[in-house]
């Protein structure tokens, strides 16, 4: 299981309706979607960290939803 996320990307959906999460975004701004790596190395410690956000991450690319 520890190796499963390596090489995967998290899809951060800028079009998700965040009102259900209690987050209000500015109506005059756009929030683009992005697909960053799911795991990156922390710049100070060098340890692996997850880049996911319960509000914006809609799914992990390459895995069934």
pLDDT score of 37: 92
pLDDT score of 42: 94
Contacts of 27 by beta carbon, 8 Å cutoff, 6+ apart: none
Asked, for residue 9, whether it belongs to a domain, the answer is yes
Residue 21's pLDDT band (boundaries 50, 70, 90)?
low
Asked, for residue 8, whether it belongs to a domain, the answer is yes
Q: Domain limits at 22?
A: 1-35+52-65
Tally of domains in the chain: 1
- CA-based angle 17:12:23, to the nearest 5? 35
Check if the beta carbon of residue 52 is closer than 8 Å to that of residue 12: no
Contacts of 56 by beta carbon, 8 Å cutoff, 6+ apart: 12, 13, 14, 16, 18
Asked, for residue 30, whether it belongs to a domain, the answer is yes
pLDDT top residue among 56 and 18: 56
Asked, for residue 40, whether it belongs to a domain, the answer is no
Asked, for residue 62, whether it belongs to a domain, the answer is yes
Asked, for residue 26, whether it belongs to a domain, the answer is yes
Pairing between β-strand 10-12 and β-strand 39-41 as defined by DSSP bridges: unpaired
């Amino acid at each position: 299981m520890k190796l499963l996320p390596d090489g995967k990307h998290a899809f951060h959906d800028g079009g998700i309706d965040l009102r259900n999460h209690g987050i209000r975004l500015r109506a005059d701004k756009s929030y683009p979607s992005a697909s960053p790596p799911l795991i990156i190395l922390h710049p100070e410690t060098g340890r692996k960290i997850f880049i996911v956000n319960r509000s914006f991450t809609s799914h992990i690319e390459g895995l069934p939803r």
